[in-house]
């Protein structure tokens, strides 16, 4: 099976009450960990590439590695551009074999966001085979490549804007802001309460906005960015092995599971992969200070990322046995 776009994948996910994991890829071990986990769970998967990943690994390496994963697993896999900054970057990816792109003009005024998104949609939909386009309305706090949005400057998606935006742009899916944010420090400690173990408990996501958006866009796939849960077991392994991640906190997995049962068809996860990889490598070095073969320590990082992705697919996304 060749790379696929998101169309059929999202239709099935919407009807089935589950979401597809969109995992960020930066190197071979991450691609292997995600796709081997997906294979063992018989799950469709989205592999996404950011501008930072393109700079780090070069687009051609990333594309060839993803093609290798398709050949290796036989799974339905989407190669997606994450946070495309402008038309040129989206065009470059569409021309280069990506099957889906995100145009992120969410920091621009409404009319400008519509104009840029529509231009990308026209190009992507005219491409053969059809390339699907994700757009964004509302802004998340955190770091998206070079755009840093301070906590407090983020803005929730306004449900009253979504019908006009989707109608005028023709986009295939829409990322909305309901309280998630990028990175491993999603909430300030003062926004949270603490449980009996001193672990931070963040404020709940704005399910009221999600429900209002899906009422206005029946059957339309919604995307959640910034959806790492910052699982404390990995934070602990990192901190117990020389790391220093204080007050790292994410979106509780239970809330993401609920969102996946509603209109959310794509859930973006990057920071959790980074934490799992770092936990595996730090633990390895601590246990084996004499090792210097990258296959040994990166291999342990890959093992942890694979375990994490299997957990996400079965316990959070619900996309197991849907390939």
Nearer to ligand 13P, 83 or 302 (CB): 83
Smallest distance, ligand G3H to C-beta of residue 182, A: 5
Smallest distance, ligand G3H to C-beta of residue 194, A: 26
Of 72, 82, 172, 244, catalytic: 82
Nearer to Zn ion, 80 or 311 (CB): 80
| Residues paired with residue 47 on neighbouring β-strands, in sequence order | 23, 79
Alpha carbons 21 and 223: distance in angstroms, whole number: 10
Could you tell me if 6 and 101 are in contact, meaning their C-beta atoms sit under 8 angstroms apart?
no
A 10 A CB-CB count for 147 gives: 14
Nearer to ligand 13P, 27 or 271 (CB): 271
Q: Of the ranges 217-225, 231-239, 256-264, 293-301, which one interacts with Zn ion (CB under 5 A)?
A: 217-225
Q: Is 175 in a helix, a strand, or coil?
A: strand
Smallest distance, ligand G3H to C-beta of residue 85, A: 11
Alpha carbons 147 and 141: distance in angstroms, whole number: 10
The number of angstroms, rounded, from the C-alpha of 20 to the middle of its chain's C-alpha atoms is 9
Nearer to Zn ion, 73 or 268 (CB): 268
Q: Of the ranges 164-172, 222-230, 231-239, 255-263, which one interacts with Zn ion (CB under 5 A)?
A: 222-230
Task: Tell me the per-residue interface mask from 172 to 191 with Zn ion, x by CB under 5 A, - otherwise.
Answer: --------------------
**CA-to-CA separations, 202 to 37, 248, 253, in angstroms, rounded:** 29, 11, 12
- For the chain, where are the E strands, in sequence order? 20-24, 45-49, 77-84, 100-103, 132-137, 142-144, 147-149, 173-176, 193-194, 200-201, 222-224, 264-269
The closest of 31, 29, 58 to 295, measured between CA atoms, is 29
Question: Of these partners, Zn ion, ligand G3H, ligand 13P, none, which one is at the site of residue 228 (CB under 5 to 8 Å by kind)?
Answer: ligand 13P
Phi-psi region of 216 (alpha: psi -120 to 50; beta: other; left: phi over 0): alpha
DSSP 8-state secondary structure symbol assigned to residue 145: T
Question: Of these partners, Zn ion, ligand 13P, ligand G3H, none, which one is at the site of residue 255 (CB under 5 to 8 Å by kind)?
Answer: none
Catalytic (active site) residue 82: yes
Number of residues that bind ligand G3H (CB under 6 A): 10
Note whether 282 binds Zn ion by CB under 5 A.
Answer: no
Nearer to ligand 13P, 169 or 227 (CB): 227
Q: Of the ranges 28-36, 46-54, 90-98, 203-211, which one interacts with ligand G3H (CB under 6 A)?
A: 46-54
Note whether 229 binds ligand G3H by CB under 6 A.
Answer: no
Alpha carbons 259 and 316: distance in angstroms, whole number: 9
Nearer to ligand 13P, 36 or 134 (CB): 134
Alpha carbons 139 and 157: distance in angstroms, whole number: 7
| The one among 5, 22, 23, 24 contacting ligand G3H by CB under 6 A | 24
DSSP 8-state secondary structure symbol assigned to residue 179: S
- Mode of pairing for the β-strands spanning 100-103 and 132-137: parallel
Could you tell me if 116 and 105 are in contact, meaning their C-beta atoms sit under 8 angstroms apart?
yes
Smallest distance, ligand G3H to C-beta of residue 145, A: 4
Q: Is 95 exposed, middle or buried (0-12, 13-18, 19+ CB in 10 A)?
A: exposed
Note whether 310 binds Zn ion by CB under 5 A.
Answer: no
| The one among 54, 225, 311, 312 contacting Zn ion by CB under 5 A | 225
| Residues of the shown chain interacting with ligand G3H in the complex, contacts defined by CB under 6 A | 24, 50, 52-53, 82-83, 144-145, 182, 270
Catalytic residues: 82
| Residues of the shown chain interacting with Zn ion in the complex, contacts defined by CB under 5 A | 225
């Amino acid at each position: 099976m060749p790379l696929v776009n998101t169309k059929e994948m999202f239709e099935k996910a919407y009807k089935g009450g589950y979401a597809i994991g969109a995992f960020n890829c930066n190197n071979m071990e991450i691609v292997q960990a995600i796709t081997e986990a997906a294979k063992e769970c018989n799950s469709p998967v989205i592999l996404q590439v950011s501008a930072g990943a393109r700079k780090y690994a070069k687009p051609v390496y990333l594309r060839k590695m993803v093609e290798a994963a398709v050949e290796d697993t036989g799974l339905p896999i989407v190669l997606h551009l994450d946070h495309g900054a402008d038309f040129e970057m989206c065009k470059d990816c569409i021309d280069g074999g990506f099957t889906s792109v995100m145009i992120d003009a969410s920091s621009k005024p409404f009319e400008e966001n519509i104009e840029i998104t529509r231009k990308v949609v026209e190009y992507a939909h005219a491409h053969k085979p059809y390339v699907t386009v994700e757009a964004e309305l509302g802004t998340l706090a955190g770091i998206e490549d070079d755009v840093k949005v301070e906590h407090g400057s983020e803005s929730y998606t306004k449900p009253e804007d979504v019908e006009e935006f989707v109608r005028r742009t023709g986009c295939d899916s829409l990322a909305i802001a309901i309280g998630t944010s990028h990175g491993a420090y999603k909430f300030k400690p003062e926004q949270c309460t603490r449980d009996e173990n001193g672990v931070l408990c963040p404020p709940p996501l704005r399910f009221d906005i999600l429900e209002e958006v899906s009422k206005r866009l029946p059957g339309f796939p919604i995307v959640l960015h910034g959806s790492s849960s910052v699982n404390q077991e990995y934070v602990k392994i990192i901190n117990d092995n020389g790391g220093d991640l204080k007050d790292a906190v994410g979106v509780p997995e239970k809330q993401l599971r609920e969102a996946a049962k509603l209109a959310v068809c794509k859930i973006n996860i990057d920071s959790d992969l980074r934490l799992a990889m770092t936990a595996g490598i730090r633990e390895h070095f601590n246990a084996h200070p004499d090792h210097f073969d990258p296959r040994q320590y990166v291999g342990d990082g890959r093992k942890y990322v694979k375990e994490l992705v299997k957990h996400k697919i079965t316990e959070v996304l619900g996309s197991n046995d849907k390939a």
